[in-house]
Amino acid sequence: MSKIGLFFGPLKGSVHRVAEKVKAAIGEENVDMISVNDASLSDLEKYDHIIFGISTVGKETWDSDYANTDWSKFFPNISKVKFSGKTVAIFGLGDNITYPGHFVNAMGVLAKDLLKNGANIVGKVDPSTYEFDESEALIDGMFIGLPIDEDFEPELTDKRVINWVNSIKPAFGL
């Protein structure tokens, strides 16, 4: 079995903590964790099984210059990779209380680019146990990946991660 590339950002925050939980749930020996801040195009190309961890930033960031975030620097690489034959899963962090109209939007934006480039995305999640108003991560009535709210629902994270990882393991050959 080939390793799973877990690309995440930013470092040292909630996304990083959740990425560590995903890695532990899959089995540390099966996962290479790569910060998007340090990742290259060739890093993306060498994995057939990929997990992305991304956060949706708040309005103060949307209204400012987006050029200094880890993901804004890495995002152009997504459109340069042919994801045909690659299995991809996404988890996204968001704040459903402060930003209920933009809940985990970044996960949806990323997914749409991945789908355009042929990715087979696994790990869709039923939105019925989440409270929010709108989300770009809803595709065909399902979240395209695992939404996590570490700000207002951290007590649900471990269970959500375990359930989600168990749902994607077969697609990753585990």
Q: For residue 28, what are the domain limits?
A: 4-172
* Residue for token pair 């042929």: 118
Query: How many domains does the chain contain in total?
Result: 1
pTM over 0.75: yes
Measured CA to CA, the distance from residue 168 to residue 170 in angstroms comes to 6
pLDDT at 121: 97
pLDDT at 148: 97
Given pLDDT bands bounded at 50, 70 and 90, which one contains residue 1?
low
Instruction: Read off the CATH number of the domain in which 85 is found.
Output: 3.40.50.360
DSSP string, 90-120: EEEE--TTT-TTSTTHHHHHHHHHHHHTT-E
Is the pLDDT at 11 greater than 70, yes or no?
yes
Tens-digit pLDDT profile for residues 114-167? 999 999 999 999 999 999 999 999 999 999 999 999 999 999 999 999 999 999
Given pLDDT bands bounded at 50, 70 and 90, which one contains residue 60?
very low
Six-digit token pair at 26? 């899959």
Average pLDDT over residues 35-43: 90
pLDDT at 64: 45
